[in-house]
Amino acid sequence: MAVARVGTLIVGASQAGVQLAASLRELGDDEPILLVGSEPRPPYQRPPLSKAYLSGKATADSLLLRSPEWYAGKRIDLRLSTPIASINLDTPSDGSGVATTRYGEELSFARLALTVGGRARRLRVPGADLDGVCYLRHLRNADELRERLAAAAHVVVIGGGFIGLEAAAAATGVGKDVTVVDIADRLLGRAVAPVVSEFYSDAHQRRGTRVLLRAGVAAIEAGDDGGRVGGVRLADGRLLPADLVLVGIGLEPRTELAEQLGLEVDNGIVVDSCARTSNLAVVAAGDCTTLPHPLTGEGRLRIESVQNAIAQAQAAAASLLGRPAAARAVPWFWSDQADLKLQIAGLSHGYDQVVVRGAPLSERFSVLYYSSDKLIAVDAINTPRDYMVARKVLGEGGTLPADRAADASVPLKELLAGVVR
């Protein structure tokens, strides 16, 4: 039997899901909101899992996005441990319908939002299911990893992306023998310029982490007991000793429900700048989506960041209520690796010029990305002032003269008066 119909069903108790519910209330929506999630824990921040939480500097309670009192005060019905198995719309053009949980309960709704996030991409090699091979996407993964890390001696991290490097830094920081393995020819290759990749490779190795590039993984091998991981066999035959393996090779967006609904999917649920899916009555936000470039409106890309989840959720709430979408925001990201804070603003895809401010060996420098002489992004390593100035310029649609910006002795702030718009 279906329950009483709610105004909005939000599937996915994620950062985007919580923000969408909050934005509906901020926009004056008074209809019942049901936010459902498959995890047993209340919605929490995910970025600290591979940073402060893994290193023991944060607690589970400190990660909570909102308190129980907040949900009650906003009249948001939060249902945990409630995986959705199927969704049926009343008609293809109508956003109302019924969702059915894995346990057979029916949830009736007038409006639908998908904020289902993604899952860790699995490693497909022999031995990948051995005890001691871990992933890091959920709080339960982080709890398991912290416990195993305490007892581990040799740690191998497969994947040289942000999560892998953050976890490697945390493991090295507590005295573990750590090796990072990546099949690519440089770290963070899809996100940063070669100069930044080289810097992070050198910086991690200075701190005691081994970095092996162009190194494919052939298999995970068991130790003497046969049931637990004992090493990582590389494609060239080398065996790396390991009693703990962390796999960080990317995220796969959860698109099953969208596909079931007949929504367009292309490396994520396809949405427009207003977070509307191919069925304009249904919205989606967060890591599960692929969207137009947030500043140019061109192409399609998937942005895995807190900022994007929040901005999309705000746009989705406005769309559900028939309101104008908020102005496009400059994407931003951050990564903490040991004592190195990387702050990124903008999107560097398509750059044709790179300007380096400062000396990478000083571990305080920034990289400005340009396309056709226009600033499109910044990577700031331990240089928050450069980050803030560049982010301001990007937000105003301006640029900074590359020749003058290259002089690290001149604060970027002094160039603001000459910003070209």
Size of the chain in residues: 421
Q: What percent of the chain stands above pLDDT 90? A: 89
Same-fold call for 122-249 versus 339-418: no
State how beta strands 154-158 and 177-181 pair: parallel
Contact (Cβ atoms closer than 8 angstroms) between residue 363 and residue 382: yes
Q: How confident is the model at residue 295 (pLDDT cuts 50, 70, 90)?
A: confident
Domain boundaries, the chain: 6-119+252-320, 122-249, 339-418
Please provide the distance, in angstroms rounded to a whole number, between the alpha carbons at the two ends of the chain.
59
Q: At what angle do helices 194-206 and 162-173 cross, to 10 degrees?
A: 20
What pTM, to 2 d.p., does this model score? 0.94
Assess whether pLDDT exceeds 70 at residue 420: no
Confidence of residue 112 (pLDDT cuts 50, 70, 90): very high
Quick one: fold of 122-249? FAD/NAD(P)-binding domain (3.50.50)
CA distance 248 to 233: 17
Please check the confidence at residue 251 and state whether its pLDDT lies above 60: yes
pLDDT tens digits along 79-90: 999 999 999 998
Identify the band that residue 418 occupies on the pLDDT scale cut at 50, 70 and 90. Answer: low
CATH number for 339-418 (one of 3.30.565.10, 3.40.50.1970, 3.30.390.30, 1.10.287.130): it is 3.30.390.30
Q: Are 142 and 49 contacting, i.e. CB atoms less than 8 angstroms apart?
A: yes
- Do 54 and 10 meet the contact criterion of CB atoms below 8 Å apart? no
Q: Which fold has domain 6-119+252-320?
A: FAD/NAD(P)-binding domain (3.50.50)
Q: What's the pLDDT at 85?
A: 97
Q: Residue 402: its pLDDT value, please?
A: 93
pLDDT above 70 as % of the chain = 98
Contact (CB, 8 A) for 290 and 269: yes
Q: Map residue 6 onto helix, strand or coil.
A: strand
Q: What is the mean pLDDT of the chain?
A: 94
DSSP E strands: which ranges in 193-264? Answer: 210-212, 217-222, 229-234, 239-241, 244-247, 251-253
pLDDT digits (tens, 9 = 90+) for 317-344: 999 999 987 777 899 999 999 999 999 9
∠ Cα 148 151 153 (to 5°): 105
Query: Amino acid identity, residue 165?
Result: L
